[in-house]
Amino acid sequence: MHRTGQNRLAFGKKNVLMSNVQTEIEALEERLRLAELGPDPTVFEELLADDAILVAQDGQPAFAKTQVVASHQPGGGPKFTRVTTSDLKIVDHGTVAVVTCNGHYEGPQFTGTLKFMRVWMKKNDRWQVIAGSIANG
């Protein structure tokens, strides 16, 4: 950590400064990735706002927080043997951050790539996803 409260990350041969917000969101995105592998519904319960609007691949707001949490219960929904992310971009807007990334999933029920957009908002000193979308990759 530098005195400015920013981290330096190396991308290729460039050093890129990341804000504290970007560092925090990157850690939360990693928690989501690991929760997919668990599966761990408690992470989704914590990190999705109760009134989050999530848009499915068909363009319709189809997923509610309760559905996401339910689909990640052990024994229910898809289970993945491998989940990786790529092209993670985090745009810091202070108390809001916008994330785009690709998720690569491998498992017995689904193997493929999905594109994500998530809007994180910090409220009451806690980050939560307030909106997001999923598209086929």
User: What is the tens place of the pLDDT at every residue in 76-108?
Assistant: 555 789 999 999 999 999 999 999 999 999 998
**Token pair belonging to 131:** 């909106």
Q: What is the pLDDT of residue 76?
A: 58
CATH topology of domain 7-136: Nuclear Transport Factor 2; Chain: A, (3.10.450)
Q: What is the DSSP secondary structure assignment for residue 32, as one 8-state letter?
A: H
Task: For residue 36, count CB atoms less than 10 angstroms from its CB and return exposed for 0-12, middle for 13-18, buried for 19 or more.
Answer: buried
Determine the Cα–Cα distance for residues 79 and 36; give it in Å rounded to an integer.
7
Q: What is the pTM of this model?
A: 0.84
Helix (H) or strand (E) holding 101: strand 96-106
